[in-house]
Chains A and B, each alone.
Chain A
Amino acid sequence: MPDSVRVFILEDDVPTRESLERRLTLDARYAVAGAAGTLAEARLLLQTTPVDVLLVDLQLPDGNAIGLIRERTELAPTIPILVISVFGDEERVIGAIEAGARGYLLKDDSGEELVDSIHRVRNGESPISPAIARHLIRRFQPSRPIEPAAESIEHALSEREMEVLRLASKGLTYQETATALGVTVNTVGTYTRRIYTKLAVSSRAQALFEARQLGLMGGDE
């Protein structure tokens, strides 16, 4: 089916995986391109399977999926990756977003919500929960001493983006945020997308900076 969105699922819990598959196949617009239960399996399948969206559980029997997310982002940055998470797992979700994931969905989301999430991500919107918004606010606070000054300005959030985070942290929906800011829902989605990108870029810059620091230290010895 060339018109349907090809979704690849990486989830080790078989009932959850099957439930996701079932929910997706119920919608004609989506097709399950493949499913895997381990990182190795997923890497193997992804080499040959063309996909449009990746759903990734973070904790897998053979390790953490962050590495895979990073690889896929490098390889195919246009293919969005969504993290399959449970509530109260925001720290890990943030880690995944830093690695390149564009959003998350909850395991107990209904089929409707699931499809909605994928749809939004493909449209360039990213979901954002209050807990994640709070994390991001802290992350982008201007007073981060270790960050290199030039890069911190480059990756700093705009006033608008910060405002979106603040409203999201209070639990406002996209619609409510859009109303509050006097913009369309799509614009809010774009803001969040940009915030996530900046987070990923800034975390890469941070990693680079730290690596450089390590390199310098190595050079001294």
Chain B
Amino acid sequence: MSDIVSNINRDFVTRLAYEGKRIDGRKFDEFRSISIENGLITSAEGSARVKLGKTDVIAGIKITAGEPFPDTPNSGILTTNAELLPMASPSFESGPPSPESIELARVVDRGIRESNMIDTKALCITPGQKVYVIFVDIHVIDYDGNLFDAASMAAVSALSNTVVPASNYDAGEDFKLPVVEVPVSVTAVKIGDNIMVDPCLDEESIADARLTVTTDSKGSVRAMQKGLAGSFTQEEVENIINTSLLLGQKNRKVIEGD
């Protein structure tokens, strides 16, 4: 099977969009079903698996101790990596990280970092010498559109149930990673002049432009990323931001609920 979208399918999805409809019957501002499983990987300090429709992502958190960056001697370190596993799609190849996987990791990381989700000062063991290093590893295992939101949800859920293994480093008792904010990303795509959230693969394959907006619980925008070759008007961007705030709140409840 190749991954070319046939002309008639492209026309169909576009025509549906003009009529305010989507191929799976959703409304423009509706997400697919979300299921989150926490703590499934016991070799990791924290983990979560998120299924967003048929898109399936696992995030694992590993913590070690290391030297802090010279300009932030009392802060722990956060680093995010994403693997677009070849099993997730025939279009994902083995090999060094692709621009797509690097972009995915950096956008997810940006949302976590800019929203100050983790109090990195609490991750200091010995000031100037030893701090906790948090590795967020995202594994995409099945691809049916909207990796940004699925990966972000998986990373954030995993961090929310992470236990820092302080006892391994003679730094006292193990403690739950202090999480002070829950960033949520909402991704929208533009097909013709129509904008819809949480694109499935059929929609993402023919979309002109894509915008991911990450918001926090206080109503602030913390990160944005535009993708694909098309463009957005100012009005469209403002509308997407408003939708992202509303839907972000909704999805935040789903993440916190577990």
Pairing of A with B: no
Q: Which residues of B are at the interface with A, using a C-beta cutoff of 8 A?
A: none
